[in-house]
Amino acid sequence: MAPKAATKRPAACAGVKAESCAKRPAVARGSAKQCSAVAEALLKSQDFPADVLEMLRSNLPACLGAPRERRHEFQERVAGMVGEVLTKGEDGLQAGVAAGEAKLAAITAENDRLHEAALAAADKLKASEEELAAAQAASEE
């Protein structure tokens, strides 16, 4: 009896059944890195429940890894939800930056005012020391 012909497994699916590999969506190499960056930003959001963020993160490769023209309606919806979360997070960060800049401006103005007051006090001290020295010189005579 002749040996059966061996079939080769695709390299990407080494050690995994071929049918389970075929079911996985194809994700471009560059998009995996981009998806991880988006997932990291997504999980930093404070405005949504953690389980919702985890659900969106787990679906990122399947949704954003597929070309836009080949996405299913549900993939587009998930991508839209991810966009909403990121936009809300960006708005929150921009509000924080604006608040920080306003606080910095107030502190800078206060610093300038105090610096001017310190210079005026130093001038007044110098004038008082000169008056004291003149008064001491006059009292010694």
Euclidean distance between CA atoms 90 and 37, whole angstroms: 15
What CA–CA distance (Å, rounded) separates 65 from 39?
A: 13
The predicted-structure confidence for 42-92, as pLDDT tens digits, reads as follows 888 888 999 999 999 998 888 888 888 888 999 999 999 999 999 999 999
CA nearest 9: which of 25, 17, 29?
Answer: 17
**Mean pLDDT, range 8-23, rounded to an integer:** 55
Contacts 24+ apart (CB under 8 A), 90-99: 92/46, 92/47
**Is the pLDDT assigned to residue 23 strictly greater than 90?**
no
